[in-house]
Amino acid sequence: MEAFNRRHPGLIYKITFLFTFISIFTFLTFAHPRESQAASLANFNPGNIISDYTMSNYTTMSVADIDAFLHTHGSCNDTNTIKASWYPSLHYHIEDGHFVCLADEHFAVTGANYGDLLEEDEESQTAAEVIYEVSQKYKINPQVLLVLLEKEQGLISDSWPNSIQFRSATGFGCPDTAPCDSEYYGLKNQLESAAWLFRTVLDGGWTNYPLGENYIHYNPNASCGGSIVYIENLATSSLYRYTPYQPNAAALAAGYGTVTCGAYGNRNFYLFFMDWFGDPTVSKEPIVEAQTKNEQPVEDGWYQIFSKSNPEKVFDIRGGVRNGMAIADMLVFPRNTGTTENQIFKIQFNNDTGYYNIINPTTNLYLDVSGGKTDDGSALIVFPRNNSCNQDWLIEKTNAGYLKFVSRCSSKVLQNTNGVLAINQRSSSNVQEWSLKAVQPADSTIEEGIYQISIGENAFDISGGVSDNMATGKVISFKKNFQDNQLFEAIYNVEEKNYIFKNPASSLVLTSGEVISVEKQDESKCSQKWVLDKRAKGARIKSVCDGANIATSQNLEGEYHTFTTVVPSGVEVTFEPYFSKGNTSLNILAGEYQIRSADSSLALDISGGVRPGMKQGTLILFAARNENIANQTFAIEFSTDKNAYYITNPTSGLRLDVANSGIEDESSVIAFEDNGGYCNQLWSIERSGEEYIISSACSGKPLTLSNKQTGGNYTVEIFTRTALKNQNWKLIKL
């Protein structure tokens, strides 16, 4: 897909029979037919060949516009058809005594020849229709595709193209040193593959030339040298992924000409674009598409928003908040330990617009780009709702699990600019990445989440256990065990300012009465709605119906106590979290665990035992033994700063670690000394039925029981998620 110059597209293909395969020339590009009128290269910048906006602006041309362009820039009346006989091994399309060029060709839309050149077919598309359809599908500017067709195969200007030019129209799958891959043959296939590559890089996918400094060669021959190029945007990065060379000074001085050690693909891309459409580096930003709710990565809720670059700092409204405020500046400021109203934001998806709004609940002010500006460094404020695009945000999730907030107006990204919240051009810097911790507004008492409701050594317990088809159950006081019949999800109703407490395993909710029970949820019943009366060490649970508190009944049944509601006193309870919505993965109760295979027959084990000061150890799956064995004990602790878990052996201090920071399938998992918080020692934990999936924060791939053995014991690795039980684990609290 790169580039030496060639004069005539027909000619280069006519001489290919002298060589082993056509692809030997895929690094060449065509000479522009108007060299004397070539656009100026005075402003050519190898780090900014085309802006993200220009490459992404798929609205520039209609089908009719593209068709008119093709006919204007390509002559389809070449009657010198004798030229076809010069190259009998090549196929030319000739009709009515003239060659048929790209503008007048048709391409199959069905059957075995889908996307291929087809001279006669009722179900076919014109080249203009193919180009337009691909541009809309991948949100790539059709002007970019037209330029690509010219700089790779000269198809726009060639008056007598042959079938090989159509077959490899954009040069995709045609490396510099090997034949073209037949998997990518055909005009539509070629255009789709190229557009897919551009879109992948624009969306933050892999590129071999990321933003920032890169050494880029002048020619496929490494002896021709190269230089450091600072790549400023993703669109330019995608061009280098496609064509991995830059023009040297002589190639730039030559316009469309050729020089020693020259490479011309990216130079000619710039020149063709300038000649045909104007400056490709215009500074606007790419269009941001609205998305549906199920495509968004964040649940509606109340959050503190943490900076990745300064993990102790969060979104903050300068000077605090008060009811009736009209405007305030936004900062990135250390997290408050006391009053936090100015650091809490409601993230809410708007189904009407397809974007998120970010709102401070106390003031009801919206996160807003000051003055509706789109310039780099434009500051953020909070402001009353005005239904403008500068209050609408797209939220993207990075591969590492962090979030980016993208302004609907400018498509620029929210970033921490030296403690000020501002927008800027997209980059790979961590100043544009954020994490969330879910919280509740000041008028609630506990965070939403799943809890064990405790009274000393006992807990609320549904007598006799639970099942998913039961209709009711009696609530008693019983020894704490964190089993399903002792778990209640606290769900807060912001409008009514009350809770329901739902048992996740049965979906029954806590219901007041002479005896406290669980029953099927009925939103009309006040007996299922509760408020919390905060006390010194916990809270009393009070019915919305009559203000009566849950109290221990005097009615003893053996060792159990039942509950009732009484006025005014009641039992004081504490809420021990089992899961909470305070992070992107489900928050298990911090503590020490044995980590067992799904069938409980094996336990995660540090081979050979553990001792303080160890540097590393091999993890194996060993027959489950007594629950106090030191090398099978792991402390699980959630890090708010990292928004993930550490899994640490307490005796040795070694942490669960993906060896060599691996992200590939079958990367080994070991126990290793603390590495300072790198992602290969960070894990997400999510519930899967009665078990858990434990995934690496680097790759998102789950901890997996492998089929490999060490000394007769199975080892563990990471592997792409499957539906198999070898990725499910039981956490047995010690």
Helices vs. strands in the chain: H and E counts, helices first? 10, 44
**Is residue 608 pLDDT above 50, yes or no?**
yes
What is the average pLDDT across 575-594? 57
Q: If you search the block for the tokens 């509950």, which residue do you land on?
A: 563
* Position 584 in a domain: no
Domain range enclosing 553: 449-579
- Judged by average pLDDT, the poorest of 179-188, 300-309, 357-366, 668-677 is 179-188
Domain stop point among 519, 550, 579: 579
Same structural domain, 64 and 172: yes
User: What gap in Å lies between CA 404 and CA 421, rounded to an integer?
Assistant: 13
**Is residue 37 pLDDT above 80, yes or no?**
no
416: three-class secondary structure by DSSP: strand
Exposure of 684 in the CB half-sphere (CA atoms within 13 A): 20
Each residue's pLDDT tens digit, 350-367? 877 888 999 988 788 999
Same structural domain, 472 and 417: no
Among 606, 579, 608, which Cα is nearest to 594's?
606
The tokens for 471 are 């209709």
Each residue's pLDDT tens digit, 52-65? 888 988 888 899 88
Same structural domain, 256 and 336: no
Each residue's pLDDT tens digit, 307-366? 988 888 999 998 888 777 888 889 899 887 655 778 889 898 887 788 899 998 878 899
**Is residue 606 pLDDT above 50, yes or no?**
yes
The number of beta carbons lying within 10 Å of the beta carbon of residue 515 is 15
**pLDDT for res 249:** 93
**pLDDT for res 529:** 94
509: three-class secondary structure by DSSP: strand
Distance of CA 84 to the CA centre of its chain: 51
The number of beta carbons lying within 10 Å of the beta carbon of residue 79 is 11
Between CA 537 and CA 544, with CA 542 as vertex, the angle to 5 degrees is: 150
**pLDDT for res 289:** 52
Same structural domain, 514 and 613: no
**Is residue 626 pLDDT above 70, yes or no?**
no
Indicate the pLDDT class of residue 111, thresholds 50, 70 and 90. very low
List CB contacts of 518: < 8 A, sequence separation 6 or more. 462, 472, 473, 475, 503, 506, 508, 509, 510, 511
What proportion of the chain, given as a percentage, has pLDDT over 70?
83
**pLDDT for res 338:** 55
Indicate the pLDDT class of residue 393, thresholds 50, 70 and 90. very high
* Position 188 in a domain: yes
* Position 285 in a domain: no
* Position 400 in a domain: yes
Give 379's DSSP letter: B
Among 360-364, 412-416, 610-614, 724-728, top mean pLDDT goes to 412-416
Same structural domain, 122 and 178: yes
Question: What is the count of structural domains for the chain?
Answer: 4
User: What gap in Å lies between CA 458 and CA 461, rounded to an integer?
Assistant: 9
Output the domain CATH number for residue 663.
Answer: 2.80.10.50
**Is residue 291 pLDDT above 50, yes or no?**
yes
Q: Which residue has the higher pLDDT, 25 or 205?
A: 205
User: What gap in Å lies between CA 637 and CA 162, rounded to an integer?
Assistant: 65
Q: Contact 482/733 with Cβ under 8 angstroms?
A: yes
Q: Contact 575/455 with Cβ under 8 angstroms?
A: no
**Is residue 580 pLDDT above 80, yes or no?**
no
* Position 284 in a domain: no
- Judged by average pLDDT, the poorest of 115-129, 339-353, 579-593 is 579-593
List CB contacts of 182: < 8 A, sequence separation 6 or more. none
Same structural domain, 33 and 177: yes
User: What gap in Å lies between CA 209 and CA 240, rounded to an integer?
Assistant: 7
Domain stop point among 407, 439, 471: 439
Q: Contact 566/659 with Cβ under 8 angstroms?
A: no
213: three-class secondary structure by DSSP: strand
* Position 189 in a domain: yes
- Judged by average pLDDT, the poorest of 19-33, 76-90, 648-662, 685-699 is 19-33
* Position 376 in a domain: yes
- E-assigned strand segments in 649-710: 655-658, 667-672, 683-688, 691-696, 703-710
Between CA 712 and CA 721, with CA 715 as vertex, the angle to 5 degrees is: 140
User: How far is the first Cα of the chain from the last one, in angstroms, to the nearest whole number?
Assistant: 59
Same structural domain, 132 and 74: yes
**pLDDT for res 167:** 83
Give 479's DSSP letter: E
For residue 392, the one-letter residue type is D
Q: Contact 417/659 with Cβ under 8 angstroms?
A: no
* Position 101 in a domain: yes
User: What gap in Å lies between CA 647 and CA 445, rounded to an integer?
Assistant: 30
Give 218's DSSP letter: S
**Is residue 506 pLDDT above 70, yes or no?**
yes
What is the average pLDDT across 129-158? 91
Among 306-315, 670-679, 725-734, top mean pLDDT goes to 306-315
**pLDDT for res 270:** 94
Same structural domain, 430 and 465: no
Same structural domain, 426 and 466: no
Same structural domain, 192 and 98: yes
182: three-class secondary structure by DSSP: helix
Same structural domain, 196 and 321: no
Positive or negative, the Cα torsion across 199, 200, 201, 202?
A: positive
What proportion of the chain, given as a percentage, has pLDDT over 90?
22
**Is residue 306 pLDDT above 50, yes or no?**
yes
Among 113-122, 261-270, 348-357, 538-547, top mean pLDDT goes to 261-270
**pLDDT for res 636:** 87
**Is residue 453 pLDDT above 60, yes or no?**
yes
What is the average pLDDT across 431-450? 74
**Is residue 405 pLDDT above 90, yes or no?**
yes
User: What gap in Å lies between CA 734 and CA 630, rounded to an integer?
Assistant: 11
Same structural domain, 193 and 335: no
Distance of CA 203 to the CA centre of its chain: 9
What is the average pLDDT across 374-398? 86
DSSP states of 80-92: -GGGGGG-TTS-B
Indicate the pLDDT class of residue 85, thresholds 50, 70 and 90. confident
Q: What is the chain's mean pLDDT, rounded?
A: 80
- Judged by average pLDDT, the poorest of 279-293, 494-508, 515-529, 608-622 is 279-293
Domain stop point among 394, 418, 439: 439
**Is residue 236 pLDDT above 90, yes or no?**
yes
The tokens for 262 are 């020259």
